[in-house]
Amino acid sequence: MLTSPPLPPKAIQWLAALGLSDRAALLACGSVRAYLLLKASGHTVTDKLLFALEAAARGVHWSALTDSDRQALRQAAAVHAPVRPLPPAAQLQQHMQAALALARQAAKLGEVPVGAVVVKDGQIIGQGYNQPIGSRDPSAHAEMVALRQAAQALGNYRLAGCTLYVTLEPCAMCSGAILHSRLDHVIYGAREARTGAAGSVVDLFALRQLNSHTAIDGGIAAQESADLLAGFFAHRRPGGTS
């Protein structure tokens, strides 16, 4: 369990609300990301807390950190990609299941099974599944269709305050549209090793030159998403069943 010292008692409570209740969880998250998550959650945080988080992750007192350590932590926080806390587990499950249902719909139509929903204030305002074949439109990825619907629903192409749930890591085209829309948060399922633009091949969301405001988290319902894709492609390989 995390202790005081080196962490203030309130910080331990804040971290627990983020699911960071012990040193192993803090190490996996990283002190800089944990610090930024606390800040994004609306808590007042200072450099002292950043240093305390690093000390807790290392299992030492904060005074053991060198000036070089502290400077490196400040720099890492300054250039870190945007972060946001994940929604509650029930909400994550609900919206990812909605995206998976859309992905299954795409598979039935012979399209690569990817589904996406845009959520604002807990309500789905845009949804889509892959349909470039049926629509004869190379841009008709699940994310693009969902973004268009959401923009129409809000009467604005900027989607601040919205979260996109998608079953597969976005490609460069979709990531560009997401960044342009100023979405708050993207939550995706399976990683895309060949074309993923959220860290697998490149990470467009981490490029400060793009003035990124969008946080991204992956691995939510990842196995379900990956199994759906694997099953789809297995049926199309020689020897597969249809």
Residue 164: name the closest of 204, 104, 216, 221 by CA. 216
Q: Per the annotation, does 141 bind a ligand? A: yes
Please enumerate in sequence order all residues whose Cβ is within 8 A of that of 4, keeping only pairs 6 or more positions apart, or say none: 12
CA angle at 203 for the pair 199 and 208, rounded to the nearest 5°: 145
Extract the tokens encoding 206: 């981490």
SS3 215: strand
Q: Residue 231: count other Cβ atoms within 10 Å of its Cβ.
A: 12
- 174 in a labelled binding site: yes
Residues with a catalytic annotation lie at 143
* DSSP string across 18-84: TT--SHHHHHHH-HHHHHHHHHHTT----HHHHHHHHHHHHTS-GGGS-HHHHHHHHHHHHHPPP--
3-state secondary structure of 216: strand
Q: What is the β-pairing status of strands 123-129 and 185-190?
A: unpaired
Residue numbers in the known binding site are: 141, 171, 174
The annotation places the binding site for Zn(2+) at 141, 171, 174
